[in-house]
Amino acid sequence: MSTLVTGIAELVTNDPTRGESPLGLIPDAAVVVADGTVVWVGSATQAPAADIRIDVDGRAVVPGFVDSHAHLVFAGDRAAEFEARMTGARYDGGGIASTVAATRAAPDDLLRRGLADLVAEMRRQGTTTVEVKSGYGLTVEDEARCLRLAGEVTAETTFLGAHVVPPEFAARTDDYVAVVTGPMLDACAPHARWIDVFCEPASASAFDGDASRTVLEAGRRAGLGLRVHANQLSAGPGVRLAVELDAASADHCTHLTGEDIDALAGGSTVATLLPGVEFSTRSPYPEARRLLAAGAAVALATDCNPGSCFTSSMPFCIALAVREMGMTPAEALWAATAGGAAALRRPDIGHLGVGARADLAVLEAPSYRHLAYRPGVPIARALDLPG
Amino acid sequence: MSTLVTGIAELVTNDPTRGESPLGLIPDAAVVVADGTVVWVGSATQAPAADIRIDVDGRAVVPGFVDSHAHLVFAGDRAAEFEARMTGARYDGGGIASTVAATRAAPDDLLRRGLADLVAEMRRQGTTTVEVKSGYGLTVEDEARCLRLAGEVTAETTFLGAHVVPPEFAARTDDYVAVVTGPMLDACAPHARWIDVFCEPASASAFDGDASRTVLEAGRRAGLGLRVHANQLSAGPGVRLAVELDAASADHCTHLTGEDIDALAGGSTVATLLPGVEFSTRSPYPEARRLLAAGAAVALATDCNPGSCFTSSMPFCIALAVREMGMTPAEALWAATAGGAAALRRPDIGHLGVGARADLAVLEAPSYRHLAYRPGVPIARALDLPG
């Protein structure tokens, strides 16, 4: 069964062969999809017939957002911690350890419901692909459980046993790394596409360059692709390690040296920026313009998680990228779609060329520019197609 | 017909006699409404019977947002101007004059549809009262027309003929003020509750202190309440004039002297902050903490308009107030509800005490803190009540 989507005031294809911009804009456009795939794209006046017709009545259509960094399998509430951080009040609610404890204690159905609610919330905001990490279980059994649940909602599952060193391994990072790269990896690899590590020598509960390399190389041997939480809190070795090991993405990139930027520009690792984190922790934003000027590929993602950033909104991240990082609305949209797809090494998503997955987002606006022009307003939604 | 709203995990009443916070929080609460009015508030376990029962299933309920500053009657699109401003590109699309030209040229139904769409969009985001200004007509006929249309959607209509000096009066501000305070006021006063003026000596197209006083005093003689666009671009005379004339609100307050803050703290004029403008123009934010420390009443509003700020989201403004202006989540919510009501001198809204209008907003969250904790996520909606 084929569906014609027409009445598109402005279509973003991300096909650079169409028009002057990398966004491959087509005005007054139509798209035909069949069996979940884009089969025709062009001017509405030239559109072929299809079984079903959807008229979006002068709205813009963009590729569904690809949110390539999210932590959605968790239990517990950290709103009070957020409030304390924002107001400078003392707070000792346990931070990430409180999420780990609540997640371990939660039955599957509670985790499954929270995960489903967040994925649905994202879809209502235009996100059609989301990567989901483990990392709040931190035992062999709980990490595997979180990844099994993540696999129920997405193909982009990431094993993040090396998120933090859990309390029971405090000051025994090497012992914990041995678990992560041994029995935990064995239990988790069947449920994961990716492995990730929080590389941050500045944090006692995270992993230094050597430990991160150990984790990533073990993951690669187990058949997993690589991703790195890199250079969030300091200009550590994460980004260069990610590029050296050809990780798909180095995420955060908040503190970069010139050498880090050169490495990203020279490699195939995407710099995934997560400006919602800087918003919600009142931190300085990454230097997107330096990355773009150097020729690095840039993605935007939410980092949706209960601690440092609980936004699920890709449009909000686009608005921040424009306001706070000086990205153009076009660069920000590209980063939130094609950039995210590159960060997941997925040629089938993040664009709307023929052959792409039929992931369309409709905007309550005539142009993609409104994603930044209308900050905080829920103007994007994933288009539900029949069949 | 009475309706019991129950299952409220956390109710914000803004009744300071309930509990320790100005928010008047009640956990595990219920509300009974009848004939559009709150008739009972308290613990769910003590709730009386009612004809209809709505269970919000563990969500928080807050007073509907009071957006006391918005410009919603307009035609035209200025997304390209926004993009140019954000990217530092040259742009000469006419700015506000382009909106004036498009608004004058638009048939009533086009303006009516745009207005209705924005009011509905606001309601979907939890706003239950919105003030709507004229100010893009700038002829006797078009200002009166815009106010008639505004009056179809809200009781809070504001005559803003003194928004800018229109092109046909360039360099003849005195002549334009004579029109505003003469035939335009005569035509508009029957359709307006308020009069407003853009007091900004730093802008050639706005109004200095003397002209602003002339406009406001004429409005008062015509029976209108007073509001002032004050101290947006420079520390001009607007705030002190507003307090001196007992205006309900001085809006923007981006550039304040110590004298301005003392005046606000000593008067009954509310300082209405519009942080979406600073977000969308990449400007420094108002000093909310200085105002609060001095004891001034602070409101938050969107300033939704096609030029300087096209957000319609009160939750977004709350998130900005917390992140960028150091307001606590409680102060920001109070400002967006009770603060807005004070800025409109409306004792019947902005709170949920007995006798208040039954304007409830439901959050997809267990606490009001999530409004700032979940930036950009559409978690608030106005509750539709039967009858």
Residue length of chain B:
387
Cα A271 to the chain's mean position, in Å?
A: 11
> CATH number, domain at A92?
3.20.20.140
Q: Are residues B196 and B126 in the same domain?
A: yes
A313–chain B nearest CA distance, Å: 6
CB contact under 8 A, A276 and B313: no
With 80 as the cut, is the pLDDT of residue B36 above it? yes
pLDDT in tens, B289-328: 999 999 999 999 999 999 999 999 999 999 999 999 999 9
Of the candidates A316, A322, A378, the beta carbon closest to that of B375 is on: A316
Chain mean pLDDT for chain B: 97
* Residues 6+ away with beta carbon under 8 Å from A21: A330
Question: pLDDT value at position B122?
Answer: 98
Question: pLDDT value at position B376?
Answer: 98
Question: pLDDT value at position A94?
Answer: 80
Q: Are residues B221 and B237 in the same domain?
A: yes
Residue A222 lies in a domain: yes
When scoring B67, B323, B370, B373 by the number of chain A Cβ atoms within 10 A, the one with the most, hence best to mutate, is B373
Q: Are residues A91 and A205 in the same domain?
A: yes
Q: Are residues A293 and A364 in the same domain?
A: no
A272–chain B nearest CA distance, Å: 19
Q: Are residues A49 and A116 in the same domain?
A: no
The string of DSSP codes covering B198-214 is: EE-TT-TTSB-HHHHHH
Question: pLDDT value at position A265?
Answer: 98
Question: Predicted confidence band at B45 (pLDDT cuts at 50, 70, 90)?
Answer: very high
Q: SS3 helix, strand, coil % of chain B, rounded to 5?
A: 40, 25, 40
Q: Are residues B254 and B171 in the same domain?
A: yes
CB contact under 8 A, A86 and B311: no
With 80 as the cut, is the pLDDT of residue B92 above it? no
Residue A359 lies in a domain: yes
> CATH number, domain at B356?
2.30.40.10
**Residues A251 and A305 sit within 8 Å (Cβ to Cβ):** no
Give the B-side interface with A, CB within 8 Å: 77, 79-80, 82-83, 86-87, 121, 124-125, 276, 279-280, 282, 310-313, 315-317, 319, 322-323, 326, 328-329, 364-367, 369-370, 372-378
Cα B26 to the chain's mean position, in Å?
A: 26
With 80 as the cut, is the pLDDT of residue A163 above it? yes
With 80 as the cut, is the pLDDT of residue A229 above it? yes
Question: Predicted confidence band at B63 (pLDDT cuts at 50, 70, 90)?
Answer: very high
Question: pLDDT value at position A93?
Answer: 75
With 80 as the cut, is the pLDDT of residue A387 above it? no
Question: pLDDT value at position B76?
Answer: 96
**Percent above pLDDT 70 for chain B:** 100
Q: SS3 helix, strand, coil % of chain A, rounded to 5?
A: 40, 25, 40
Residue A70 lies in a domain: yes
ipTM, two decimals: 0.97
Residue B188 backbone dihedrals phi, psi, to 5 degrees: -95, -30
* Residue numbers in A near B376 (CB within 8 A): 276, 311, 313, 315-317, 319, 375-376
CB contact under 8 A, B373 and A83: yes
Q: Are residues B103 and B207 in the same domain?
A: yes
Q: Are residues B176 and B232 in the same domain?
A: yes
- Our count of domains for chain B comes to 2
Q: Is A94 exposed, middle or buried (0-12, 13-18, 19+ CB in 10 A)?
A: middle
CB contact under 8 A, A87 and B326: yes
Question: pLDDT value at position B118?
Answer: 98
Pairs of residues, one from chain A and one from chain B, whose beta carbons lie less than 8 Å apart:
118
**Residues A257 and A243 sit within 8 Å (Cβ to Cβ):** no
How far is the C-alpha of A111 from the C-alpha of A134, rounded, in Å?
12
Q: Are residues B107 and B195 in the same domain?
A: yes
Residue B387 lies in a domain: no
Structure tokens at B21: 């916070």
CB contact under 8 A, A316 and B369: no
Chain mean pLDDT for chain A: 97
Question: Predicted confidence band at A361 (pLDDT cuts at 50, 70, 90)?
Answer: very high
* Residue numbers in B near A127 (CB within 8 A): none
Longest Cα–Cα distance of chain B, Å, equals 66
How far is the C-alpha of A365 from the C-alpha of A387, rounded, in Å?
26
Segments forming the whole domain that contains residue A139: 65-343
Residue A265 lies in a domain: yes
Question: pLDDT value at position B156?
Answer: 98
Average pLDDT on A286-305 reads 98
pLDDT in tens, B188-216: 999 999 999 999 999 989 999 999 999 99
DSSP state of A342: H
Question: pLDDT value at position B336?
Answer: 99
pLDDT in tens, A106-146: 999 999 999 999 999 999 999 999 999 999 999 999 999 99
Closest chain B residue to the Cα of A307, Cα to Cα: B373
With 80 as the cut, is the pLDDT of residue B359 above it? yes
pLDDT in tens, B270-294: 999 999 999 999 999 999 999 999 9
Question: pLDDT value at position B90?
Answer: 83
With 80 as the cut, is the pLDDT of residue A348 above it? yes
Structure tokens at A209: 């360059």
Q: Are residues B202 and B312 in the same domain?
A: yes
Closest chain B residue to the Cα of A329, Cα to Cα: B83
pLDDT in tens, A54-103: 999 999 999 999 999 999 999 999 999 999 999 998 887 789 999 999 99
* Residues 6+ away with beta carbon under 8 Å from B339: B66, B270, B272, B297, B298, B299, B300, B350
Question: Predicted confidence band at A219 (pLDDT cuts at 50, 70, 90)?
Answer: very high
- Residue A348's alpha-carbon distances to A63, A284, A351, in angstroms, are 11, 34, 8
Question: pLDDT value at position B91?
Answer: 82
Average pLDDT on B76-90 reads 93
Question: pLDDT value at position B94?
Answer: 79
When scoring A117, A308, A373 by the number of chain B Cβ atoms within 10 A, the one with the most, hence best to mutate, is A373
